[in-house]
A and B are shown apart, each in its own frame.
Chain A
Amino acid sequence: MRAQRERRFRAVADEATPAIGAYLKRRIYPLSYSDVDDLVEEVLIIAWRRLDDIPAGAEVPWLIGVSRNVLRNAHRKFRRGEVVAARMTPAPHGSSAEDNVIADEGVRAALESLSDDDRDIILLHAWDGRSAEDIALILGVTSNAAAVRLSRAQDRFRKNFSSISLD
């Protein structure tokens, strides 16, 4: 029984780890790259514990959903520690982890002008290669809602990009 469980976990981890690691690494700022392994391990611990709940065929998006929350908690802890220790200047309001790693000024400006939700959904699609169905699972909404939200977010992104480029 345990060996069977371990085999499934191993298979899930083998498939999902590159995706969740990349997801976390893209958004790790202001934490450092050296924290990524710890967060991946935290996600895998949750995966092991909730293995029976991971939907077959949707392991990767399910674990990206977990990664999203693990990362939020890590960011929250970091910012709490940052305030207490007053060691670093807080990140400017509205600056996201993604904004800080994008070299393309136009793309960065257009993403910055979006809401957090729009930015999340666009980057899940563009960077993490997630379909609307996957995004639905990650965000806990219906597939239809995810498709609509993705489409609208893309429209807003393109519109903002065009107006920024024209300025």
Chain B
Amino acid sequence: MKSIDERLADSNPVAQGYVPANYDEMITRAMHHSRHADAAWKTFRLRMAGSVAAASALTVLGVTALNGAGSALPVLGFSATSAQVPRSSALNGSGGAVGGMMIRYMNYSFTGADKFSAAVGSEPVYTISAPSDLATTLSTVARALGVTLATTATAAGNLSTNYGVSGKGYSGSIDSGNGADYWNIYSTPSGTTGVSGASGAVVGTAVPPTTSTSPSATGATGVTGVTGASGATGVSGVTGSSGAAGATGPVAATGSLAAQALGFVQALGNYTAGDATQDVSNGVTTINVPLLVNGYPSDMSDSFTFNSDGSLQSASGNIFELKVMAIYPLISQSAGVDQIIPQENQFDHWMAPLASFSRAASTGATGATGATGPSGASGATGVTGVNGPSGSSGATGVSGVTGATTTTTLPAPTVVNLTTVTIGYSSYDMKSNGWMELPNYDYAGTVVKGGHQVSFTVVPLPSQYLDFATNNNPIPMGAR
């Protein structure tokens, strides 16, 4: 008889584990998924601002000249499309309970901002779009790479349009997101040749014994047996597992494969390529080509993997088109540090919300002064016609009670020493105009107590051009 613990274990409905379909595609899609495409990055909406005049006069005048005299820059406003939890939950401080889940906020403070440039600047903001006919686009990509996809595109779930091929050839998938099409093409070699069948056994034909004519007569020699049938063809060999990754890290890509990769990038869309890197492991060369936006690194890249014989093993990347929407002023890199917490709190919601913590431990409001008491009743009229005494004054109302003191426990601050800042571009969703590529300041630094590296991203447009007003729904830390 089984114990209760054994019966509980036996009730496991998925005891045999889980093996995903198309695991490699899943992995590559995940790696090319922008951080701004998740639910926390909500739809951008664009509206014209009446407050542009409040901008720094010098900067705005300069930028206005670039954008055309008299034109006002739009405010880029984030809007929450689906509130997950009410904002009031965040006001509980470091441990607000939401739907039974605890919210855990981080409380960062930063040093090192003084090392960064105090100069303001300006950079363009782009709209980004991509072809919507995914099947045709995938075929175009295949042609640019010089490979042939054997079959016609068929829809495969919500995420991608897949090609499937049989035998030796290339498979591919494509899906759309973040304003760009993300494609993936990979060789699908046939299985290795099966082992040869075993030779058939030699079977001699039976020959009846010859009746001897004399006791000494020798029987006739039997005829040679026919050759046995060939053995069945062996089953195809299984494809070997990938070898372990080599220890060597990526280096600057040079040589014919790098030139080929850069040629692919040009053929795919004449994109501006950054410095390509290559990584060689077990004879397989992977070349990563960052795709630049306005000369800066972006959240897009192409990647090409070549077999040892130089043939293309797999490739993945983005198809997109950029259009300059306007040129915006940028705050300085040192000033951008002050925007880390407000912006992370608006987008990713894991920072300690400033608004709530500024209210922490504040004294309650003083109680209102008590209302004046009611006037005394008039005295009764005297019997003899003499005026009666005046009524007494009403009692003074009691003072209001002092409000209770609010107490909130702040999470322990994590001090980060910022060491570097770089400019880049990444994609953001807009409600009415599709996706945009906006400039970013990417800060990196070290946690003072702990020593590990952390990084933060800021959209360095002056605050009057960014509207976070409606994107204020914190999500639990656990959702990350």
Give residues in A with beta carbon < 8 Å to B. 1-4, 6-7, 9-10, 13, 17-18, 21-22, 24-26, 36-38, 40-41, 44-50, 52-53, 65-66, 68-70, 72-73, 101-104, 106-108, 110, 116-117, 122, 126-127, 140, 157-158, 161-162
A126 touches B20 (CB 8 A): no
Q: A25-B18, A53-B480 are in contact. Are A69 and B101 (CB under 8 A)?
A: yes
Give residues in B with beta carbon < 8 Å to A. 4-5, 7-14, 17-23, 26-27, 29-31, 33, 35, 38-39, 84, 99-102, 104, 157-159, 245, 249-250, 277, 279, 286, 288, 301, 452-455, 476-480
B30 touches A44 (CB 8 A): yes
A37 to B20, CA, bound (A): 6
Q: A52-B453, A68-B478, A122-B8 are in contact. Are A3 and B279 (CB under 8 A)?
A: yes
22 A-B pairs with CB atoms under 8 Å apart are: A3-B250, A3-B279, A3-B288, A4-B250, A7-B245, A22-B18, A36-B20, A41-B26, A41-B159, A44-B27, A45-B38, A50-B480, A53-B480, A70-B479, A104-B10, A107-B7, A110-B4, A116-B100, A127-B9, A140-B104, A140-B477, A162-B4
Q: A38-B158, A41-B30, A53-B480 are in contact. Are A26 and B20 (CB under 8 A)?
A: no
Contacting residues, chain B, for A66 (C-beta < 8 A): 478-480
A46 touches B480 (CB 8 A): yes
The 6 lowest CB-CB distance pairs between A and B, nearest first, are A21-B18, A44-B30, A3-B250, A101-B13, A69-B479, A3-B279
Contacting residues, chain A, for B20 (C-beta < 8 A): 17, 21, 36-37, 40
Closest to A102 in B: B11
A84 to B362, CA, bound (A): 43
Closest to A41 in B: B26
Contacting residues, chain B, for A18 (C-beta < 8 A): 17-19
Contacting residues, chain B, for A122 (C-beta < 8 A): 8
A127 to B18, CA, bound (A): 13
A108 to B4, CA, bound (A): 12
B479 touches A48 (CB 8 A): no
Contacts A26-B14, A37-B22, A127-B12 given; 18 further ones with Cβ under 8 A? A4-B250, A18-B17, A21-B19, A22-B17, A22-B18, A37-B157, A41-B26, A45-B29, A48-B31, A48-B33, A66-B479, A69-B480, A73-B39, A101-B13, A102-B11, A103-B11, A127-B14, A140-B477
Contacting residues, chain B, for A106 (C-beta < 8 A): 7
Q: A18-B17, A46-B480, A69-B478 are in contact. Are A3 and B286 (CB under 8 A)?
A: yes
Q: A3-B286, A107-B7 are in contact. Are A45 and B30 (CB under 8 A)?
A: yes
Q: How far is the CB of B159 from chain A (nearest CB, A)?
A: 7
Contacting residues, chain A, for B249 (C-beta < 8 A): 3-4
B38 touches A2 (CB 8 A): no
Q: How far is the CB of B477 from chain A (nearest CB, A)?
A: 8
A45 to B29, CA, bound (A): 8
B250 touches A17 (CB 8 A): no
Closest to B246 in A: A7
Q: A3-B249, A3-B288, A41-B159 are in contact. Are A25 and B7 (CB under 8 A)?
A: no
Query: CB within 8 A of B454: which of A21, A36, A52, A69?
Result: A52
A54 to B288, CA, bound (A): 24
A1 to B8, CA, bound (A): 46
Contacting residues, chain B, for A127 (C-beta < 8 A): 9, 12, 14
Closest to A110 in B: B4
Query: CB within 8 A of A9: which of B9, B23, B31?
Result: B31
A38 touches B478 (CB 8 A): no
B29 touches A41 (CB 8 A): yes
Q: A13-B27, A21-B20, A116-B100 are in contact. Are A107 and B8 (CB under 8 A)?
A: yes
Query: CB within 8 A of B18: which of A4, A7, A36, A68?
Result: A36
A72 to B101, CA, bound (A): 10
Closest to B27 in A: A13
A50 to B35, CA, bound (A): 9
Q: A41-B29, A66-B480 are in contact. Are A1 and B250 (CB under 8 A)?
A: yes
Query: CB within 8 A of A2: which of B5, B17, B99, B277?
Result: B277
A108 to B38, CA, bound (A): 36
B250 touches A2 (CB 8 A): yes
Closest to A56 in B: B452
Q: A22-B18, A52-B453, A158-B4 are in contact. Are A46 and B38 (CB under 8 A)?
A: yes
A9 to B31, CA, bound (A): 8
A26 touches B12 (CB 8 A): yes
A101 to B277, CA, bound (A): 49
A13 to B39, CA, bound (A): 21
A126 touches B9 (CB 8 A): yes
A18 to B245, CA, bound (A): 21
A161 touches B30 (CB 8 A): no
Closest to B22 in A: A37
Closest to A165 in B: B4
Contacting residues, chain A, for B11 (C-beta < 8 A): 102-104, 107-108
Query: CB within 8 A of A65: which of B18, B301, B478?
Result: B478
A47 touches B7 (CB 8 A): no
A104 touches B277 (CB 8 A): no
